[in-house]
Every structure is written in structure tokens, then in C-alpha cells.
Amino acid sequence: MNINDITSFINSPGEVSITTTVLSLIIGVLLSIAIRWHFRNYGSTLSNREEFSQVFPFILMTTLLIITVVKSSIALSLGLVGALSIVRFRTPIKEPEELAYLFVSIAAGLGLGAGQIKLTVVSIIIILLFMMILRNKWKKDDVTGKNLFISIDITNPDQFNKNEILSHINKILEKYSRSTDIRRFDMRNDSLEIVYLIDLNDVEVLSNIVTSIQSEYADAGVTFIDQNNLPSI
């Protein structure tokens, strides 16, 4: 191969602009930082958000590079399909929110790699702002209402009228909740466990529920669990 062949190859119609690619990578870095910040501050997953957010820049810029390379060649595009068909991702994504942020990163990489810089930047900013507004609204709604699991453990249930225990607890919960849904009723010789899903009128009534239950059953244990933040399995 002589120098003319090399020059012809470099200046071929499928050549990728280095300047445009570098500009896209710089913008990609900025967008990935914005996505990381948004996930760390507005995400609600129970996983380590700091650690998980570290992958966003890699995903975004790798996607950008792949699209930049293959967009100028149909053969490369077909080769990419074949290559991806043998890739297997083993890391489980436990929560839908994590998957959503990964898609945002991939979408940003696709847009920048395709040369749609303005459209991509504007769209990502709008998406993040919209989710920020929704997250703030959800936080305000949580001040007045909450869906919780409540677990009630009563030791030595034989000392009480077993037929009335469930009725008494139902009345107490109905007094302070918009709705109650019994999820588990487990009675043994020395213990009784009842689990409800309740929709509270106000989270400030939690102490009233505990006081009311323990006034009827002094040794009762009461546990509240926020069902919205339970980890997916």
C-alpha cells in the first residue's frame, strides 16, 4: 500500500470528523455529570447511588463512540448487530429507576453519536427537569399521606379472647387510616403476628396507633415498614 492509498483511505467519504467527535465527547461528559448529579440527589433506590452513578459516563461515551463509528457504514452497522448478539449482561438491575437512568445515558450517547447535539442536550435537560419537578411533588405528597406495612406481634395470645383480637386491631387501624388491607395472619401457641398494608391519613398518627394497640395488648410489638422503598428481589 503506497502513500496515495493511505491518503485516499483517510479522506474517504466515510471519514469521521475528529473535531465533531471531540466536541460530542465533551458535551457527553457534561451531560453524564448532570445525569450523575440528578441520580444521586433525586434517586430513591436503596442501592449505593454513589457507586452506581459512576457507570453513567462510561455508558454514555461508549454508546457515543459506537454510534459515531458505525453510522457512516452499513457494513459496520450490521457487524455491530452481530457482535451485540453474543454479549450477555450478567449484572442484575434490581430497581426500575436504575434502568431508567441507564436508558437516559444510552439515549444521550445515541443522540450525540448521531450528530443531533442540540436536540439531545435540550431533550436531556427537559427530562431531568421534569423528573426533578415530579420528585419534589412526590416528597410534598408524602408529608400528608403514606402507604406502610404494619406488623403487630402479640405474645401469649391465649390470655386474650382470640376472636376479638383481630376485630379490635381493625377498629384501631380504621380510625387512623384511609384504608387497611390485611396481608398476613399467623397464629402460634405462644405468639400471634398480623401484617397490614395501611394508607395513613397523616404520618403523625403513628404514635397514636402504637399507643392504642399497646393499651389493649401491653406486650404487643409494632413495626412500621415503608413499602415504597422495599428493595426488589
Mean pLDDT of the chain: 76
Taking residues 35-50, report their average pLDDT.
Answer: 78
Query: How many CB atoms within 10 Å of residue 209?
Result: 22
Instruction: Indicate whether 221 pLDDT > 90.
Output: no
Mapping DSSP onto H, E and C, the string for the chain reads CCHHHHHHHHCCCCCCCHHHHHHHHHHHHHHHHHHHHHHHHHCCCCCCHHHHCCHHHHHHHHHHHHHHHHCCCHHHHHHHHHHHCCCCCCCCCCCHHHHHHHHHHHHHHHHHHCCCHHHHHHHHHHHHHHHHHHHHHHHHHHHHCEEEEEEEEEECHHHCCHHHHHHHHHHHHHHHEEEEEEEEEEECCCEEEEEEEEEECCHHHHHHHHHHHHHHCCCCEEEEEEHHHCCCC
Q: Which of 142, 159, 185 is the last residue of a domain?
A: 142
**Residue 119: its pLDDT value, please?**
92
Q: 47 falls in which pLDDT band (50, 70, 90)?
A: low
Residues 158 and 172 in one domain: yes
Q: Which of 91, 107, 142 is the last residue of a domain?
A: 142
Residues 160 and 94 in one domain: no
Taking residues 31-57, report their average pLDDT.
Answer: 82
Q: Which of 35-44, 76-85, 156-165, 211-220 has the lowest mean pLDDT?
A: 76-85
Residues 109 and 44 in one domain: yes
Instruction: Indicate whether 97 pLDDT > 70.
Output: yes
Q: Is 11 domain-assigned? A: no
**Residue 40: its pLDDT value, please?**
85
Residues 31 and 93 in one domain: yes
Residues 121 and 100 in one domain: yes
Number of domains in the chain: 2
* Most confident of the following: 81-85, 100-104, 140-144, 181-185: 100-104
Q: Is 70 domain-assigned? A: yes
pTM: 0.55
Instruction: Indicate whether 1 pLDDT > 80.
Output: no
Q: Which of 142, 166, 189 is the last residue of a domain?
A: 142
Residues 123 and 172 in one domain: no
Residues 125 and 22 in one domain: yes
Q: CB of 156 within 8 A of CB of 190?
A: yes
Residue with cell 408529608: 143
Q: 233 falls in which pLDDT band (50, 70, 90)?
A: very low
Q: What is the pLDDT of residues 107-166, one digit of tens each?
A: 998 888 888 889 999 999 999 999 888 877 665 555 455 677 888 888 776 666 766 778
Instruction: Indicate whether 44 pLDDT > 80.
Output: no
Residue with cell 398518627: 205
Output 6 or 226, whichever has higher pLDDT.
226
**Residue 79: its pLDDT value, please?**
59
Taking the alpha carbons at both ends of the chain, their separation in whole angstroms is 58
Residues 224 and 123 in one domain: no
Handedness of CA 14, 17, 20, 21 (dihedral sign): positive
Residues 155 and 216 in one domain: yes
Q: What is the pLDDT of residues 54-88, one digit of tens each?
A: 889 988 998 888 888 787 666 666 656 555 555 55
Output 224 or 125, whichever has higher pLDDT.
125
Q: CB of 99 within 8 A of CB of 105?
A: no
**Residue 125: its pLDDT value, please?**
93
Residues 161 and 56 in one domain: no
Residues 94 and 162 in one domain: no
Instruction: Indicate whether 39 pLDDT > 50.
Output: yes
Residues 92 and 157 in one domain: no
Q: Is 53 domain-assigned? A: yes
Domain that holds residue 192: 145-229
